[in-house]
Amino acid sequence: MDFLRSHLRQVVTIHQSMFQKLLFEEEDVVGMDLAELFKDVGKTYLRISERISESRVSEHSLQD
């Protein structure tokens, strides 16, 4: 689980940086880059959620 936590911290840091750039540093109207980022971030967090759930289910099964 420590690896997953470390990976999640890296992912969040990268996403924060990307949102920072697209929302605060670019003068353009909200565009496709931001839409794609939201889509990619959503998929990434869903995969991470699935990994966490699978890990917890496996740990719980081993305890029984």
Predicted model pTM: 0.72
Q: Enumerate long-range contacts of 55-59, CB under 8 Å, 24 or more apart.
A: 55/1, 55/4
Band the pLDDT of 16: cuts 50, 70, 90: very high
What span, in angstroms and rounded, lies between the C-alpha atoms of 64 and 48? 25
Indicate the Cα dihedral angle 47, 48, 50, 51, nearest 10°.
Answer: 120
Domain around 19:
2-63
Domain count, the chain: 1
Task: Report how far residue 39's alpha carbon sits from residue 57's, in angstroms, rounded to the nearest whole number.
Answer: 27
pLDDT tens for 47-63 read 999 988 988 887 777 67
